[in-house]
């Protein structure tokens, strides 16, 4: 029998697996083993490994094609006042407004902290 960890919320020992999730029958808390082992999962880092925060300014490190537009975002474009998206569904974890393009989402791997 596999030893499952106690519930991180109520410390119940009666946890069970439901697919890829672990479930606590006492408090109904659900979590994954990956999030248990990865303590800094909500930390978003730029291409250089610097931690990003809401309100930071970043610089684009490579030319980016914009879907539906004939122009592109050029390398060195500065983006101010970013908002971070934790657990994005499409991999774009930065929400921002770029002058000349408007509101859009970026991946943290194509920016560096300014």
Cα atoms in the 13 Å half-sphere on the side-chain side of 30: 5
| Interatomic CA distance for residues 27 and 111, integer angstroms | 40
What is the pLDDT at residue 2? 66
* Each residue's pLDDT tens digit, 55-114: 999 999 999 999 888 899 999 999 999 999 988 888 899 999 999 899 999 999 999 999
| Interatomic CA distance for residues 72 and 55, integer angstroms | 24
What is the pLDDT at residue 35? 47
* Each residue's pLDDT tens digit, 18-56: 888 899 999 999 888 764 444 455 789 999 989 999 999
How far is C-alpha 63 from the geometric centre of its chain's CA atoms? 22
What is the pLDDT at residue 112? 96
Given a contact cutoff of 8 angstroms between Cβ atoms, the answer to whether 16 and 5 are in contact is no
pLDDT value at 16 more than 60 = yes
* End-to-end CA, the chain: 51
């Amino acid at each position: 029998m596999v030893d499952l960890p106690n519930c991180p919320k109520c410390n119940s020992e009666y946890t069970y697996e439901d697919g890829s999730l672990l479930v606590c029958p006492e408090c109904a808390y659900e979590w994954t083993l990956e999030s248990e082992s990865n303590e800094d999962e909500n930390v978003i880092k730029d291409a250089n490994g610097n931690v990003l925060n809401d309100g930071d300014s970043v610089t684009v490190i490579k030319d980016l094609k914009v879907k539906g537009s004939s122009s592109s975002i050029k390398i060195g474009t500065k983006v101010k006042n970013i908002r971070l998206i934790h657990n994005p569904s499409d991999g774009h974890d930065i929400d921002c407004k770029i002058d000349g393009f408007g509101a859009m989402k970026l991946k943290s791997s194509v920016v560096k902290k300014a």
